[in-house]
Every structure is written in structure tokens, then in C-alpha cells.
């Protein structure tokens, strides 16, 4: 399977970086199976970037959690790890909680909307996908194929 990672730089050697903010599936190296989604990541804020391509070689010895769709379990997982809880998975895969969806997640956390309201708000979102690699063993199954430039709307 080919995976894509959108970035402001070419990423031949992926790494896990601790960041100021926790992502949906905690700290990790994030990819997607959708090239267009990686292009959006690469060109966010109107800047130029790169779509990095990797061959993903599944390894059943790794601890993998996969969500095929947005579910209550997926929502609970995102709420926990956006708050800084850690987990023991090598790889986590599932739908992405982009900024709009995460705003809804935050509203659930803050008690501003119910879970039922959350599900109504997210049901019209386009399909997204992300797969995050959380250990060195997980990163080792990615083979860099190459990259291509992606152009934002900066002038």
C-alpha cells in the first residue's frame, strides 16, 4: 500500500516528534492513503510543501488499532489522547478529526453539545483517513519512495 505524508519539507527518514499540541492519536508520524489529503497538509496556511510517498509493508507483529469509521470508541479514543493520555499501540489507523471535527469534539468535552449533536454535525464530512506510527518498529515498515512539490496559494 502507498501512503502519503504532507509536509513543508521532504521527509526521507520519518520520525516521531513531541509537539506542543496532542494530535488525535497522540504523538506520532501521520500519513494518509489519500494523496489529496496529504496535499492539503503540505499546503496548509497557503505555503508550498511536499507530498512524501512511502511503501507501507504491513507487519502483524506490531500492535495495531484500526477504526474503519467514526464510532463511539473512536470518539472516546480521540478525547483521551487529545488530553495527553498515552497508549501502547505501534500504529493507529482511522478517520481524521480535522479542525472542524475537533472543534465539535471539544464542544462535547466542554459540555456545550451532546454526543448525539456531535454525530449529527459530523455525518456530512468528506471521507478522511490517517494512519499514525508511534514507535521506531512501526516507522521501520515505511519505505520512502520519493516526494513531489505541492504549491500553496502564497504569492
Q: What is the pLDDT of residues 84-101, one digit of tens each?
A: 788 999 999 999 877 777
Q: Using CA atoms, how far apart are residues 125 and 44, in angstroms rounded to an integer? A: 19
pLDDT of residue 126: 67
Residue 3 above 50 pLDDT?
A: yes
Q: Tell me the average pLDDT of the chain.
A: 89
pLDDT of residue 78: 86
pLDDT of residue 123: 78
Residue range 23-44: mean pLDDT, rounded: 89
User: Which SS3 state, helix, strand or coil, does residue 82 take?
Assistant: helix
Task: Report strand pairing: 64-66 vs 91-94.
Answer: parallel
User: Which SS3 state, helix, strand or coil, does residue 97 take?
Assistant: coil
CA–CA distance from 97 to each of 55, 75, 104, 105, 128 (Å)? 24, 9, 9, 8, 8
At 56, is the pLDDT very low, low, confident or very high (cuts 50, 70, 90)? very high
Amino acid at each position: 500500500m502507498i501512503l502519503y505524508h504532507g509536509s513543508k519539507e521532504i521527509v526521507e527518514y520519518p520520525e516521531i516528534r513531541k509537539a506542543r499540541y496532542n494530535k488525535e492519536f497522540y504523538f506520532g508520524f501521520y500519513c494518509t492513503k489519500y494523496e489529496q489529503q496529504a496535499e492539503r497538509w503540505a499546503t496548509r496556511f497557503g505555503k508550498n510543501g511536499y507530498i512524501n510517498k512511502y511503501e507501507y509493508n504491513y507487519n502483524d507483529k506490531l500492535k495495531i488499532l484500526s477504526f474503519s469509521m467514526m464510532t463511539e470508541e473512536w470518539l472516546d479514543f480521540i478525547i483521551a489522547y487529545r488530553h495527553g493520555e498515552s497508549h501502547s499501540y505501534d500504529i493507529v489507523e482511522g478517520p481524521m478529526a480535522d479542525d472542524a471535527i475537533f472543534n465539535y469534539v471539544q464542544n462535547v468535552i466542554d459540555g456545550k453539545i451532546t454526543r448525539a449533536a456531535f454525530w449529527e454535525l459530523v455525518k456530512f464530512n468528506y471521507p478522511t483517513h490517517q494512519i499514525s506510527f508511534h514507535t521506531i518498529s512501526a516507522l521501520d515498515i515505511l519505505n520512502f519512495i520519493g516526494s513531489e512539490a505541492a504549491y500553496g496559494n502564497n504569492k
